[in-house]
Copies of this chain bind each other. A is one copy, B any other.
């Protein structure tokens, strides 16, 4: 391995000068810079990152934590997309990103511990937000720079987070259904532990209430995210005396399953029942019918979270921020006008 010393020797300067050339320090002559750079190129010099990290006490790396989850849920295209958003800004500032590898909550927790205590990363992005999360608490207690994509369960004002207004989105998309003449509207969501589910559901409820519609528990279904592709949820729905005419589904991937199960049962979307959902992943535009869904701008969610985190790592007493990414309702073909 060729080090800074080799370059120094080869170009007849001191190691510190070489270091300064690397940092493009203005106090170095263009001449020496040129000379040193030539030597670097000739010898094939590249700075050793570990050495630099050691003295800089910063790794220019951020940790990205995926939710604990045996299997399927992670196949949600939400994740590659948000990673892409994070990656884009990470890339621009020449940082790197380290992805969590744990499957269980416990594994992930220990991983985050290693990241933090080992000074392995300068900051952490949490790609989920759930009730009473150990990782969140740990990060908070250690005052380690982190940001949540989503809304924190508590200490909302102290934790920097990037989120959509999921309450309003839930409300608005439900109102959209109501405006089309729907009166019996059900909600199908993922785990109740997830804040995002809670928020969207609360929005749904508010819309019903606002329209003076009945708000019965029988119309709120929580499926263990991808459980059998929504079969149970649909079976339950079909067993109902008075079936809903509209469905608010908290995630496009769930919608896909629901859609298929519904059609299987001979119920056509949007003819027999209308469906709206959330996220606007690529999927939702290629299904049939294409989904009317809330575009939450996943990419932007990722990009902004990375941006604000990096600011935070650079200036540790940056105040906690809440960043709300606007959403847009994308009208496609899964909603029927009942009027």
- Taking a contact as CB atoms under 8 Å apart, the answer to whether B77 and A75 are in contact is yes
A74 / chain B contacts, CB cutoff of 8 Å:
80-81, 83-84
Partner of A76, one of B50, B77, B114, B226: B77
Chain B CB count within 10 A is highest, among A61, A94, A282, A287, for A282
A114 / chain B contacts, CB cutoff of 8 Å:
46, 94
A41 / chain B contacts, CB cutoff of 8 Å:
none
- Separation of A288 and B285 alpha carbons in the complex (Å): 16
A91 at the interface (CB under 8 A from B): yes
- Separation of A88 and B107 alpha carbons in the complex (Å): 11
- Taking a contact as CB atoms under 8 Å apart, the answer to whether A103 and B88 are in contact is yes
Q: Which A71-99 residues sit within 8 Å CB-CB of chain B? A: 71-72, 74-77, 79-81, 83-84, 86-88, 90-91, 94, 96-99
- Separation of A102 and B96 alpha carbons in the complex (Å): 10
- Taking a contact as CB atoms under 8 Å apart, the answer to whether B120 and A99 are in contact is no
A338 at the interface (CB under 8 A from B): no
Q: A99-B87, A101-B96 are in contact. Are A118 and B46 (CB under 8 A)?
A: yes
- Separation of A114 and B50 alpha carbons in the complex (Å): 12
A229 / chain B contacts, CB cutoff of 8 Å:
285-286
Q: A91-B111, A288-B260 are in contact. Are A98 and B48 (CB under 8 A)?
A: no
A23 / chain B contacts, CB cutoff of 8 Å:
none
Copies of this protein in the assembly total 2
Closest residue to A116 on the B side, CB-wise? Answer: B46
- Could you show 7 A-B contacts with beta carbons less than 8 Å apart? A50-B50, A75-B80, A83-B99, A91-B107, A96-B101, A97-B98, A226-B286
A264 at the interface (CB under 8 A from B): yes
Closest residue to A306 on the B side, CB-wise? Answer: B101
Q: A98-B61, A101-B88 are in contact. Are A118 and B286 (CB under 8 A)?
A: no
A81 / chain B contacts, CB cutoff of 8 Å:
74-75
A270 at the interface (CB under 8 A from B): no
A75 / chain B contacts, CB cutoff of 8 Å:
77, 80-81, 281-283
Q: A74-B84, A90-B101 are in contact. Are A119 and B79 (CB under 8 A)?
A: no
Q: Which of A51-59, A180-188, A216-224, A311-319 faces chain B?
A: A51-59
Closest residue to A79 on the B side, CB-wise? Answer: B80
